[in-house]
């Protein structure tokens, strides 16, 4: 009789677990999210992959509901909307959060792969500063192995040919554009095509991924100069801090562990993406954008001048203590 009772009790416990699991799956925690650019653009692949990882890790108990992109919340407003709790998560980049924290501009300057950033304590630094400045938790780098290209309608055989030319760039790069002798212009990303077509700008600095998806090859003739800020990882998947604190430790782990588990995979994917024939520089060239190579001397000057101007910009805008700590973590003299 006792053995029968123990068996029945065990069955009831198992049934309780099954019911609880079923109820959790039927009533998952849902986090609302927006992407930076059109969600079907290849640059947003990491967002969809991350959504799959989280939902698989949680066995459907944590769902990321991607609402759209700038049509839902304008790109320039997303970091503010996140801070105020109007949206739970954003998949953004450093330059786009720089309106709220100068750290956003600095994130392209580490010049190291994400796993090295983690080992050196840079991830912890990011989380501390973004929590303080943006009321948000930095989940980790999803988008890495990045670099920027300068494409123009000016046949620039060297840096001197860019002097006085109007170059569209993110606000974090304005100092760099000026340092190489060009004129920085602010144009929303989705208006680059029209600005190039009308001659409002002579060129623009942008990542090459998705270039042909935006049709920019139709209004740009040349890719000039060297790739800029190679290896940068200014990826900012962020979650509102109040939402983050409301999650259990297990739920928080479901959001952060997949990024750690797939660091090298995503790094390799983006390296292929940036350099590949399908979406990256290969696709640009295949679509008719001509490559103008500069001399080694010109390339070195351009890259160093661009990067040093970025450091000057970051130093000017960051708090002294933040700048010193960041410089130390990256291995650069703060002076």
Q: What pLDDT does residue 22 have?
A: 44
Query: What is the phi/psi pair of residue 29, to 5°?
Result: -80, 130
pLDDT of residue 10: 45
Contact 222, 122 (CB under 8 A): no
Query: What is the pLDDT, as a whole number, of residue 25?
Result: 59
pLDDT given for residue 335 in this prediction = 63
| pLDDT value, residue 11 | 47
- Sheet with strand 62-68: strands edge to edge: 62-68, 29-35, 89-93, 235-240, 136-138
What does the block give as tokens for 240?
Answer: 């509102």
Is residue 304 within 8 A of residue 234, CB to CB? The reply is no
pLDDT computed for residue 127 by the predictor? 98
Other C-beta atoms closer than 10 Å to the C-beta of 103 total 28
**CA–CA dist 21, 243 (Å, integer):** 23
Q: Where are the beta strands (DSSP E) in the chain?
A: 29-35, 62-68, 89-93, 136-138, 146-152, 166-168, 183-185, 203-206, 222-232, 235-240, 290-292
Residue 43's pLDDT is 87
Distances (CA, A) of 2 to 26, 175, 203: 36, 80, 83
Q: Residue 215: which region, alpha, beta or left (left: phi > 0; alpha: psi -120 to 50)?
A: left
Q: Return contacts of 113-121, CB within 8 angstroms, 24+ apart.
A: 113/144, 113/145, 113/231, 113/233, 113/267, 114/140, 114/141, 114/144, 114/233, 114/263, 114/267, 115/263, 115/264, 117/141, 117/233, 118/260, 118/263, 120/329, 121/329
What's the pTM? 0.87
Q: At a CB cut-off of 8 Å and minimum separation 6, what does 231 contact?
A: 111, 112, 113, 144, 145, 146, 147
Both tokens of 280, joined, read 């990256």
Q: Which domains does the chain have, with CATH numbers?
A: 26-144+233-273 (3.40.190.170), 146-230+280-330 (3.40.190.170)
Closest listed residue to residue 83, CA positions, set 234, 237, 238: 238
- Distance, in Å, from the CA atom of 176 to the CA atom of 313, rounded to the nearest integer, reads 8
pLDDT beneath 70: ranges in the chain: 1-25, 334-335
Residues forming a β-bridge with 167 = 184, 203
Give pLDDT, residue 9: 47
In tens, the pLDDT along 107-138 reads 999 989 999 999 999 999 999 999 999 999 99
The Cα–Cα gap between 111 and 226 comes to: 16
């Amino acid at each position: 009789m006792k053995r029968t009772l123990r068996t029945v009790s065990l069955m009831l416990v198992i049934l309780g677990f099954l019911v609880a699991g079923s109820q959790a799956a039927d009533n998952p925690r849902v986090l609302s999210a927006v992407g930076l650019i059109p969600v079907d653009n290849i640059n947003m692949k990491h967002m969809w992959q991350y959504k799959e990882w989280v939902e698989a890790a949680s066995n459907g108990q944590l769902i990321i509901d991607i609402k759209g992109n700038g049509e839902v919340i304008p790109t320039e407003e997303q970091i503010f909307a996140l801070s105020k709790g109007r949206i739970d998560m954003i998949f953004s980049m450093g330059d786009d959060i720089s309106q709220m924290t100068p750290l956003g501009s600095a994130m392209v300057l580490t010049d190291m792969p994400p796993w090295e950033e983690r080992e050196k304590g840079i991830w912890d630094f990011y989380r501390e500063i973004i929590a303080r400045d943006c009321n948000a938790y930095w989940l980790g780098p999803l988008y890495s192995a990045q670099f920027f290209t300068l494409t123009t309608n000016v046949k620039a055989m060297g840096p001197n040919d860019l002097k006085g030319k109007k170059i569209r760039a993110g606000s974090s790069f304005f100092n760099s554009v000026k340092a190489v002798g060009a004129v920085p212009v602010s144009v929303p990303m989705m208006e680059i095509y029209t600005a190039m077509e009308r001659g409002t700008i002579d060129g623009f600095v942008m990542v090459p991924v998705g270039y042909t998806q935006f049709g920019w090859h139709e209004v740009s003739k040349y890719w000039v100069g060297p790739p800029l800020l190679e290896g940068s990882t200014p990826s900012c998947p962020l979650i509102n801090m109040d939402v983050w604190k409301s999650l259990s430790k297990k739920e928080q782990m479901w959001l952060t562990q997949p990024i750690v588990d797939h660091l090298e995979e995503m790094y390799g994917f983006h390296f292929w993406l940036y350099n590949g024939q399908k979406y990256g520089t290969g696709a640009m060239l295949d679509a008719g954008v001509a490559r103008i190579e500069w001399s080694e001397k010109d390339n070195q000057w351009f890259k160093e001048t661009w990067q040093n101007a970025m450091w000057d910009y970051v130093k000017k805008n960051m708090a002294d203590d933040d700048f010193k700590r960041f410089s130390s973590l990256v291995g650069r003299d703060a002076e």
